[in-house]
Amino acid sequence: MASLVGAFNMVHTPFCYIPPSRWEDVRKRRRLRADVPEDGPEAFQKAERIQRAFATIREKLAEARPDVLVIFGDDQREYFDFDNYPAFAVYADAEFRGALSQEDMQRYLGAEGGGPAHRTMRGHPQLAAAILVGLQNRGFDPAFCLGTEAAREVGHAFMRPAESVTDLTIPIVPVMINCYFAPQVTAKRCYQLGKAVGEVIAELAADLRVAVIGSGGLWHTPGAPDAYLDEDFDRATLRFLEEGKPLSAAQYFDSYKPPAGDASQAIGPRGAVSTGLPASCGPQGGTREFCNWVAAAATVPDKRWQVIDYVPVYSSPVGAGFAYCEI
């Protein structure tokens, strides 16, 4: 029988990969609210904390010895486009390709470093097929993805965790969740999805050790005017996970009401980064990637999580959170 041997949550902000000496350069190109603090010399300590958090997850993941990873993440028009944008999709082919953080260096800093910018990764068709069928049997209608078009690449929500906590050889099943583009799926629906995936893994007859990762978050509104960091909101959601209450975390997230006049929460007109359609409940922007955390936590719905660290990076601004669950 298959078994779930590890559950992890982590951010994938570019600030995990940009040298802290360059954080301020990126900040200057963003539209932050006037009261957002500066990282200053603390940027270097914060960068070290982020790398220590990644190291902890790498260690815990190695101890779990998974045969395959299931990563819950969002696609930001890397694989899909607005011609047809599914709420949920499972990549079911034997291989996929995506960009590594070297791509971020070129995008954010105009600088090139060593190593390839793209990588071909191993998928796991057997587990992906089981998840697809199992979700259908539980009232979901996920899309499936097969690598028939070479130009399509799986997005950074999947590649960055793989790069940061694995040796890039372990098979991965990307579960793509539209938690980013309005109208997004709710955190509660992501809880239901993750719980269903956990059930599918538990019922699978194959002898597989499976670990899950929730990718993205925490609070951030990239490119939005008057962006700021709501640390209190982040810490509240983390407390729910520490208490082993992912459903409560989802309900708290969905019940959020933005303050009047909060420009960072506004949905822009239709364009490359906005559908122009009405938004779902809860915070907007990249903060919605917490729904990926909810999905991962829902695979082990009654387990308490250990928060490794929460690093406020004001240059983004983003709440860089890292957590794991002992199983």
The full set of domain ranges for the chain reads: 3-260+267-325
Model pLDDT, residue 272: 83
Model pLDDT, residue 158: 98
Model pLDDT, residue 222: 87
Q: Which residues, 6+ apart, have CB-to-CB distance to 58 below 8 Å?
A: 164, 165, 166
Model pLDDT for residues 151-177, shown as the tens digit of each residue: 789 999 999 999 999 999 999 999 999
Model pLDDT for residues 80-93, shown as the tens digit of each residue: 999 999 999 999 99
104-112 long-range contacts (CB < 8 A, ≥24 apart) are: 104/14, 104/17, 104/18, 104/156, 105/17, 105/18, 107/14, 108/14, 108/18, 108/22, 108/26, 109/18, 109/22, 109/25, 109/26
Tell me the Cα Rg of the chain: 18
DSSP code for 285: G
Model pLDDT, residue 247: 98
Q: Identify the segments of the chain with pLDDT beneath 50.
A: none
Q: Are strands 95-99 and 88-91 parallel, antiparallel or unpaired?
A: unpaired
Model pLDDT, residue 66: 98
Type of residue numbered 100: L
Determine contact, residues 88/143, Cβ cutoff 8 Å.
yes
159: left (phi over 0), alpha (psi -120 to 50) or beta: alpha
Helices (H), the chain: 23-27, 42-64, 101-104, 125-137, 156-165, 187-203, 231-242, 246-254, 290-298
CATH fold label, 3-260+267-325: Protocatechuate 4,5-dioxygenase; Chain B (3.40.830)
Can you tell me the distance from the alpha carbon of 213 to that of 297, in angstroms, rounded to the nearest whole number? 9
pTM, full prediction: 0.96
Dihedral, CA of residue 299, residue 322, residue 78 and residue 99, to nearest 10: -120
